[in-house]
Structure 1
Amino acid sequence: MVRQSVLAGVLAFMALGQQTQKATEEASAAQQIPDAPRPQVGLPTLDTVRPGMGTTPTSNGDHPPADQQAPAQPAAPAVQQQQPDEGPPPDMGANAFKLVVRTNFVEVPFTVKDKKQQEVAGITWREVRVYENGQPQRITNFSVDPAPLSVAIVIDQSLTPDNMAKVNNSLAALQGAFAPYDEVAVYTYNNGPQKRTDFTAANSARLEYALNNSKSTGREVYMNMGGPLAQTTVINGRQFDPNTAPIRNSQAIELKVPKEVHTLNDAIFEAAKSLTTRERGRRRVIYVISDGKEYGSKVKTKEVVSYLLRHQISVFGTLVGDSSLPVLGFLDKIHLPYTMRDNVLPIYTSETGGNLDAEFRQRGIEQSFQKIFEEVRTQYLIGYYTHQPFIDGKYRTIDVRILRPDLTVIAKKGYYPSASDSRPVNTVTPDK
């Protein structure tokens, strides 16, 4: 009986507590019913006045009493609107307090040779001095490590038949001059440039096929002939039979040989455009096998040189034909206005820091392949941050010197700044 009385009392007490809690919640809900509209900031919108809601406060600074203000939004949304300050985004990190200074980084590959034109090894960075526009620069990078090559080969198909045969027979030795990690593209030109293959592995069958497909018979040399022996069926100074005329179906009495076309500039320019797509870190090289004659190109030599310097491309080559002979090669440097340039390749190699090997025999042409690419692969490489204004577009001269006597430095004579050379060089963190 006692247990039943105690249990009944506990149940009555719990029921009384539930009734009291319910009454408290109803009273709290009744107190949250607003007697005035919620204060708004700024100009009212069209839907602010509704039946039973009142109007917004006036702009004279009047506000409803504290006990008549609209209730705040539920607790959860309020917490979401007032997130604690977590600092800068994660991707910025410490860089949020750093000042990044950008400038032009200049890389200059160069070769050092002695009096016998042999390469000199063992040069250290302490022996190298570099000047830009006559001002000394601080060398920040120095490397003697071999670099992977991206090479665009340009083969001249406008050679005479005898010289073309020498080049055709020597192309089989060209593939052996590359390393497995090099990539090669092949171009040919006669009356215009033609791509034989895009960049492919140096030891691939595709490159072998492209080189075999680049062989040509060359171009026959014609000479203007005059006099009675140059005429055929002529009566009273006019061509009698058009079928036997020097030029078929023509009234011409003598054969007029058309001007030769050697589009070397166009071929180098097309090869240079393909090299600009190669990734950074590879040494960009155009290798030309030609006699150097230039006539009939759409672009000028100066424009092509400027494009090469803007994209860090060097031109090397093997000079064949009559231009490779010492005497004729010297006479080629004398250019008469409005005539064909007999050898334009020295301009490209000297301006871009390349080199030219003149070979007349087939054996010499084959050996020049290995000699040229060994020189390209073992070039010294220095880098510095220029003090000149950022990308002003003006040509800047470069002078690389070695603190040893009787040595010759082969490097490009200058460059044009480009946006691709811009990179961060210094970070300044302010004191906290």
Structure 2
Amino acid sequence: MTRRPGARVGSGMAHLRTNGGRFRLLWLEVHEVVSTAKNAKVTKFVFSFVFIASFVVYGVFAPSTRAQTFRGSVTTVEIPVTVTDTSNRLITGLTKDDFEVFEDGDPQPVTQFSDKRTPVSVGVLLDISDSMRGQPIIDARGALDRFMADLLDSGDEAFVGAFNHLPRILVPWTAPPSSLAGRLADERPTGGTAIYDAIFASGPMMQRHNRTRAALIVISDGADTASDHSLVQTREALRRSDAFVYAIAIDSATERRVSTRVNPEALREITGPSGGYTEVVRSSEDLAPATQRIAEELNSQYTLGYATTRPQDGSWRTLRVHVKNHDYVARARRGYFATPPKS
């Protein structure tokens, strides 16, 4: 489980601009049309995202309740956790007693613990904008095909989508994931790039996933040139999900102007609060090992749970997971909205 060293940066979460009726239409017609006028100019960066767990969308992102189990007035909060050492190698073999959990700064007794891999639903969104022509699209297809065919389990499920200035779901939830290998082969790069809109458009699909966890992988090699939603808006919206976010950033310094290269600060805003990470790769050829590292992490996570009797009043609760061994680092989401179950 040794992780290969790579250029890594932090990350963050995202926010949402509703834009009136247009946003509601976006969700109703996600399989066909997501947005019309695409004029937004956003700092250039190249990245791919992975969202672990699920988020729920009702016009805007609603707080997720999937990771919260309600028993009368007692709520069990579940937290997927990744543990690494100081060399960023994945650590397995820990027990419940190795962890400490804090909600709003108060210690919480860990009442549930598992180090077993649970089934995962993985959505794949591939950038097919004009900037992906040539080797980038070839390498991205190859990395995702291998991810589907060899790195996921037969008990998992997946969907496949593509986006330029218009996100599309090509194949809905399907099991086993290996049956989806090659489904992106006919997509030809053209048009602009609406990365943020693609993330929003995947919401209804992620809401309908059928496995214990869910992941969304978005691969892109260019700036967001066509979204209606900004980074700030996306960050705030994602704060209402329990999703891990990973970013794989292609930073080809010799081929891109400084203004078009990866923006580490933006990626930190997206991945850090979620418990994920950002990895910078220098070539699209590095996408395959980067996606393998993500699969290894999915296979090595712990799940912690604690019971709370605090009212589920919709407020934001901060979370912190700590490993007692100071040579180890725990990564988990930094908070959740205490949302009551739907009646």
Q: Normalising by structure 2, report the TM-score.
A: 0.68
For residues 192 and 324 of structure 1, the distance between their equivalents in structure 2, rounded to whole angstroms, comes to 29
Aligned CA distance change for structure 1 residues 194 and 357 (closer, same or farther; 3 Å):
same
Secondary structure of 1:174 counterpart: helix
Higher relative contact order (CA 8 A, sep 6+): 2
1:216 aligns with 2:137: no
Q: CA deviation at 1:113?
A: 0.9
Where do 5+ consecutive residues of structure 2 fail to align?
Answer: 1-70
Where do 5+ consecutive residues of structure 1 fail to align?
Answer: 1-99, 220-260, 335-343, 423-432
1:415 aligns with 2:336: yes
For residues 374 and 353 of structure 1, the distance between their equivalents in structure 2, rounded to whole angstroms, comes to 15
CA RMSD of aligned residues (A): 3.1
Secondary structure of 1:151 counterpart: strand
* Match in the other structure for 1:297: 227
Contact 2:250–2:262 (CA under 8 A) maintained in structure 1: no
* Match in the other structure for 2:244: 314
1:405 aligns with 2:326: yes
Q: CA deviation at 1:305?
A: 4.4
For residues 140 and 291 of structure 1, the distance between their equivalents in structure 2, rounded to whole angstroms, comes to 43
User: What does residue range 312-351 of structure 1 map to in structure 2 within 5 Å?
Assistant: 312-322=242-252, 332-333=263-264, 344-351=266-273
* Match in the other structure for 1:18: none
- Structure 1, residues 79-117: CA drift from partner, whole Å, max 9, x if none? xxxxxxxxxxxxxxxxxxxxx732432111111111211
For residues 149 and 312 of structure 1, the distance between their equivalents in structure 2, rounded to whole angstroms, comes to 14
Q: CA deviation at 1:121?
A: 1.5
Aligned CA distance change for structure 1 residues 305 and 273 (closer, same or farther; 3 Å):
farther
User: What does residue range 200-279 of structure 1 map to in structure 2 within 5 Å?
Assistant: 200-205=174-179, 207-213=180-186, 215-217=187-189, 261-279=192-210
Question: 2:161 corresponds to which letter in structure 1?
Answer: Y
* Match in the other structure for 1:119: 90
Question: 2:151 corresponds to which letter in structure 1?
Answer: A
Contact 2:249–2:278 (CA under 8 A) maintained in structure 1: yes
* Larger Rg computed on CA atoms: 1
Bigger share in helix: 1
User: What does residue range 92-103 of structure 1 map to in structure 2 within 5 Å?
Assistant: 101-103=72-74
Range with bigger deviation, 115-124 or 362-371: 362-371
Aligned CA distance change for structure 1 residues 212 and 345 (closer, same or farther; 3 Å):
farther
Bigger share in strand: 2
- The counterpart of 1:283, out of the listed 213, 235, 242, is 213
* Match in the other structure for 1:145: 116
Percent of pairs identical after alignment?
26
Contact 1:164–1:218 (CA under 8 A) maintained in structure 2: no
For residues 281 and 190 of structure 2, the distance between their equivalents in structure 1, rounded to whole angstroms, comes to 18
1:378 aligns with 2:309: no
1:352 aligns with 2:274: yes
Q: CA deviation at 1:160?
A: 4.3
How many pairs were matched up?
A: 268
Contact 1:288–1:318 (CA under 8 A) maintained in structure 2: no
* Match in the other structure for 2:155: 181
Secondary structure of 2:161 counterpart: strand
- Structure 1, residues 245-296: CA drift from partner, whole Å, max 9, x if none? xxxxxxxxxxxxxxxx5321111122232111124x6111111222473344
* Match in the other structure for 1:256: none
For residues 109 and 171 of structure 2, the distance between their equivalents in structure 1, rounded to whole angstroms, comes to 41
Question: 2:110 corresponds to which letter in structure 1?
Answer: I
